[in-house]
Amino acid sequence: MFVFKWPGSDRANISHHCFPKLFEGRDESTKVLKINDQITLNLHPSSILHDDFFVRKYREGVPEYKYFNVELLQQGLYHDAKQLAAVTLSEEGGNLRVEGVVGPQLKIRPVEAAERSIYGKQAHIVDTIEDFKSESVYGKIIDEEIAISERDTSYHVGYDSTKFNVKSIQPEVLITCDSLFLAGFKDKADMIKYILVFFQVVILRYSTITHPRIEPVLLGIEITDKTQEDKYYNYLEGGIDAIPSLYNISYYVKAREAYYQEYDLTYFLTAYDMIVPGEHGLDRGYRGICLCRVCLLRHT
């Protein structure tokens, strides 16, 4: 289980204006996107959604599900694996609009009501993505190395690695967004588009892992309301007390197992500052926290 702070309110360090150009690629369905003289992306269409993808929201505590045509929803979503880039492409008034991530540390978006080039193209801005690395670490790091052999593991817990020798796994993921996160977008459709780009970037990051390969699939998005959030958030100085809130979320999910047990991974996205009280005051430098649990197989 993971909780991430949405970086939408942070200011970028560097920004540049550009007028992207789109060309057809050599292979079918591929495209070449020239951002500027330094950045050119070789784009492939993305397919990251489960066939039964849904959005779940609540009305007076009762869940409501909306299912989508996943092919239609993913139209315009592209990625460049080598550049770790994921973008959405669309047209408005005959002008190309590009939004998303164009490199490990770069993002792009149209400049609304901005100048046009002499050819009438839509101006865009390329920003640096904020460095989320923090010197703040909550927990304890064990300095001494502990060597555990496969024989030791098998002897104590009955683990047989040969039964789990798979080339790839496809964990099904639920992303839960709180009401403050949703409020940062003009509408729900805009939020969904953002999450698709976010999740494609997550997949690209996971693609560096092998033995087995990890290929996450987005099964659903959940939108919570204030009534639910009050059950697990510990509010503190305009944000949330990070660690107690994380544990409260785990208790909340456990109590509502029928709604969460089918997902392999659950991400919670929040626009609140995640705060950890310390000796020198309140630390607001945390961008993400996670609760790791052991996966168990039940034998009947």
How far is residue 116's CA from residue 122's CA, in Å, rounded to a whole number? 5
The answer on pLDDT for 121 being more than 90 is no
Of the chain, the percentage scoring pLDDT greater than 90 comes to: 62
The answer on pLDDT for 225 being more than 50 is yes
Q: Does residue 216 contact residue 171 with C-beta atoms inside 8 Å?
A: yes
Q: Convert the pLDDT of each residue in 251-263 to its tens digit.
A: 999 999 999 999 9
Q: Does residue 181 contact residue 6 with C-beta atoms inside 8 Å?
A: yes
The answer on pLDDT for 143 being more than 80 is no
Residue 159, pLDDT score? 59
Q: Convert the pLDDT of each residue in 152-195 to its tens digit.
A: 455 555 656 666 688 899 999 999 999 999 999 999 999 999 99
Q: Does residue 195 contact residue 202 with C-beta atoms inside 8 Å?
A: no
The answer on pLDDT for 70 being more than 80 is yes
Residue 289, pLDDT score? 67
Q: Does residue 47 contact residue 74 with C-beta atoms inside 8 Å?
A: yes
The answer on pLDDT for 142 being more than 70 is no
- Residue 100: name the closest of 37, 35, 159 by CA: 35
The mean pLDDT of 103-124, rounded to a whole number, is: 78
Average pLDDT, the chain: 84
Residue 90, pLDDT score? 95
Q: What is the pTM of this model?
A: 0.81
Q: Is 29 exposed, middle or buried (0-12, 13-18, 19+ CB in 10 A)?
A: exposed
Q: Convert the pLDDT of each residue in 268-286 to its tens digit.
A: 999 999 998 988 888 877 7
The answer on pLDDT for 55 being more than 90 is yes
Q: How confident is the model at residue 264 (pLDDT cuts 50, 70, 90)?
A: very high
Q: Is 299 exposed, middle or buried (0-12, 13-18, 19+ CB in 10 A)?
A: exposed
The mean pLDDT of 230-240, rounded to a whole number, is: 95
Residue 147, pLDDT score? 47
Measured CA to CA in angstroms, residue 70 lies from 18, 77, 79, 208 at distances of 31, 11, 17, 26
Comparison of pLDDT for 248 and 130, the residue scoring more: 248
Residue 162, pLDDT score? 66
Of the chain, the percentage scoring pLDDT greater than 70 comes to: 77
How far is residue 166's CA from residue 173's CA, in Å, rounded to a whole number? 20
- Pairing, β 239-241 against β 274-278: parallel
